[in-house]
Amino acid sequence: MTRTKKIIVIATAISLAIILALVYPFFLIGERVALGFERYVPAYDMVDISEALKKSELSADDYNLLYMQTGLTKIGIDSLLAEDSGIDKILKIQKSFFKDFGIDDDNFAIFSHYYEIKGDYPLVSLQNGDIIVSASTEFSWWTVGHAAMVVDSDKKLIVEINGFGDTSDTTNVSSLKERGNFIVLRPNIPKEDIDKIVQYTLDNLLDLKYDATIGVLSKKYVDNIKYTQCAHIFWYAFYKFGYDIDSNGGSVVTPKNIANSSYFDVVQVSGFDPLTLWS
């Protein structure tokens, strides 16, 4: 190795060491500051909603009461009331909505934390194309959240990709019921388009590698997609069929962006303030 090359190598090593010395404390401080995930539990009282659920026709005030007591919107309430044991399930969801679950903190990677409840939260009946978002994942200073999409409601299968070293795949929805919080979103677009989006996801968007820098170090949209992240994969699927579900239209799409997209209606809320959601 020539003297010039040695100087370049040494200078590069010193530069990397300096950058590491500056960056590591920044992310470490961010991690310490961000710790302290809080799951929303209503401060108001749980009341008897059984009489409202027995009505043949619910008023707007009834739906508002039920939403504030269960986290279920009109869509969620109506879908459950159409089921044989729907009232019992709604009452079970109400108890969980007010329950102060303990929280487990999983430090699953450097500067990264995932929060889950100590228990099991009942889900509304899901439909294909539903997207479930959560704010229960943090990286250093940032709440990055998570997103998954239902692709087989009968078998309770979702598509998701979790993090570095992971690939997109089908898994069971059960893990999402343990999330520190979540919102179930239903696309308000034609069913034929939802079916196409779900099938496209299954046919083309599995086994993609995880890359958190999509939209920063690479383009948000490419024809031959090989890399993605938990929110980007579903943005990509919907975008293919003419729906931009990134609510702020930025270069990076996040679960929070999807949560605020006008292409979805809220079905169920757990661990979020029902009035502010993920605003």
Name the residue among 142, 110, 122 with its Cα closest to residue 37: 142
> Residue 129, by phi and psi: left (phi above 0), alpha (psi -120 to 50) or beta?
left
- Going by pLDDT thresholds of 50, 70 and 90, the confidence category of residue 195 is very high
pLDDT higher at 38 or 28: 38
pLDDT number for residue 145: 83
Distances (CA, A) of 182 to 84, 109, 199, 252, 277: 25, 21, 24, 21, 10
139 token code pair:
């990286």
Mean pLDDT, range 187-199, rounded to an integer: 98
pTM: 0.88
